Structure 1
Amino acid sequence: MGATVLSTTRNPARTDWLCERGVDHPIVDTGHIADTVRTVVPDGVDSALELVGMATLRDTLDSVRRHGTGCFAGALGGKWTVKDFSPFGYIPFGVRLTTYGGGADDLPAEVFAKQLDAISQGRLTAIIGGVYHGLDQVRQAQANLEAGDAPGKHVVILD
């Protein structure tokens, strides 16, 4: 699609893995990524997807260019709020902040069809971290997901 993709990982051993999956610039997240992002893209990125949560949102927003957009879409870190939040002191001037928490029905049918075509033609690969059978394996699936040893989607199949 022509995008330059930056992605973060807390595990330095995963940078090659990210590159193998199409990431142009893997960045090891040591707790502060904005300066590193701006060495790659000096004016900041056009857009950033924040999945870890409020603990890292401010740093992510500092990585976004003026008139760019940061999207808060998850809180894997478990923190959903910022105490005494003030948009004037938190969101960099000129950066847009939005959220996404929708479902599959928010995706236009033609976009979904394009993704399915890409998968069937081998241009897009879904990364599966593990497949589990039955509700009795949900606990193991969650433990493996949290351990971070097998990146990708963890799928529970109800037999």
Structure 2
Amino acid sequence: MKAVVVYEAGGPDKLIYTEVPTPELKPGWSLVQVKGFGVNHSEIFTRQGLSPSVQFPRILGIEAVGIIAETTAPIKLPLGQTVISLMGEMGRSFDGGYAEYVLLPNDQIYPVHTALSWEELAAVPETFYTAYGSFERLKIKKDDNILIRGGTSGVGIAFLKLIKGKYPEITIDGTSRNYSKKEGLLQLGFSSLVLETDGKLQTKKKYDKILELIGPATVKNSFTHLKKDGIICSTGQLGGKWYLENFDPIFDTNNGYLTGFHSGDISRERLDALFAYIKRYHIDVRPEKVFSLKDTKKAHEYLESHQSFGKVVIIN
């Protein structure tokens, strides 16, 4: 099969499109023919050698959508069944979705019944699941004033779409370090762009709810823009910092609340609720950019560039 293999840490040029053996079936695992997958910032970190537990060579990819090609669980996962998979150490402790086929544990393969195209479905698992979990944690109400810190990211735009689908008139601002992205954000449905400079928001506005996708690097600053009894959900780590340091929970929370969501917290019930929500509110899940498997290197280059905007997917 064709796959994209990382043999050593480094830049996008380390993503090698090559021929490798198709994985062989083993007890408790099934083989999925990959129809598409999303590209994520965490995979960039892994490619750069910033995931200490990952050993190379490795086929990256923490998510995939496709159909069952070979199965050891014919009742749950019959041949030809449309499925999705995400997290569970795929692309990290074992090979992931950057390939034509991926061998996965049966307990992390989820059958889905959907009318979404492969491009649309490929944008859902990691990105919309993360956005939906954050949506739940923030306890969004229709009169909330919301800020998405990291508004041009895939999760940021997915979060916007989920909320606007249910509450079309709600006020949601998005941040960016690049003012040229303002028009694109407004067209998507953001109320305004808030410029971010050196980890600080260039505004005096305060918000009821803040989705924090930059992460520990900016959480402390986000609290200075939170209203009393507001909530911050720290979900992403786009700022490249893993842990919250020099933070006093007594004084720095500014009479607000801090929560978080990890996309590895996967439940069948939440996945089903997400797909039901997408269908009920007619959520537009189309990705912003689509590449082919052989152009995965270009997808990484785009995602790392200042031009990147929204969700990037690969279609086989």
Q: Same fold (TM over 0.5)?
A: yes
Q: TM-score range by the shorter chain?
A: 0.7 to 0.9
Cα deviations by residue, 1:5-28 (Å, 9 ceiling, x for unpaired): 111111111111111111112212
**Residue in structure 2 matched with residue 50 of structure 1 by the alignment:** 212
> Does structure 1 conserve the Cα–Cα contact (< 8 Å) formed by 2:215 and 2:239?
yes
Measure the CA separation in 2 of the matches of 1:126 and 1:36: 30
**Residue in structure 1 matched with residue 189 of structure 2 by the alignment:** 22
Any unmatched runs of 5+ in structure 1? 39-43
Residue 131 of structure 1 pairs with residue 290 of structure 2: yes
**RMSD of the TM alignment (CA)?**
2.3
| SS of the residue 2:210 aligns to | strand
**Residue in structure 1 matched with residue 250 of structure 2 by the alignment:** 88
Deviation at 1:89, TM superposition (A): 4.1
Deviation at 1:71, TM superposition (A): 0.5
User: Larger relative CO (CA 8 A, sep 6+): 1 or 2?
Assistant: 2
**Residue in structure 2 matched with residue 59 of structure 1 by the alignment:** 221
Residue 83 of structure 1 aligns with an amino acid whose one-letter code is E
Deviation at 1:55, TM superposition (A): 1.4
**Residue in structure 1 matched with residue 177 of structure 2 by the alignment:** 10
> Does structure 2 conserve the Cα–Cα contact (< 8 Å) formed by 1:127 and 1:151?
no
Judging changes above 3 Å, is the alpha-carbon distance between structure 1 residues 84 and 63 closer, same or farther for their aligned structure 2 residues?
closer
Judging changes above 3 Å, is the alpha-carbon distance between structure 1 residues 24 and 36 closer, same or farther for their aligned structure 2 residues?
same
Q: TM-score, normalised by structure 2?
A: 0.42
Judging changes above 3 Å, is the alpha-carbon distance between structure 1 residues 26 and 125 closer, same or farther for their aligned structure 2 residues?
same
Measure the CA separation in 1 of the matches of 2:298 and 2:271: 34
Deviation at 1:108, TM superposition (A): 6.2
Deviation at 1:150, TM superposition (A): 3.4
| SS of the residue 1:87 aligns to | coil
User: Hey, which of these two has a bigger chunk of strand by percent?
Assistant: 2
Deviation at 1:127, TM superposition (A): 5.3
**Residue in structure 2 matched with residue 149 of structure 1 by the alignment:** 307
Q: Within 5 Å, give how 1:102-141 maps onto structure 2.
A: 102=263, 105=267, 107=270, 109-119=272-282, 124-126=283-285, 128-134=287-293, 136-141=294-299
Percent identity over the alignment? 25
Judging changes above 3 Å, is the alpha-carbon distance between structure 1 residues 127 and 145 closer, same or farther for their aligned structure 2 residues?
farther
**Residue in structure 2 matched with residue 100 of structure 1 by the alignment:** 261
> Does structure 2 conserve the Cα–Cα contact (< 8 Å) formed by 1:129 and 1:150?
no
Deviation at 1:118, TM superposition (A): 3.5
Q: Give the total of aligned pairs.
A: 146
| SS of the residue 1:77 aligns to | coil
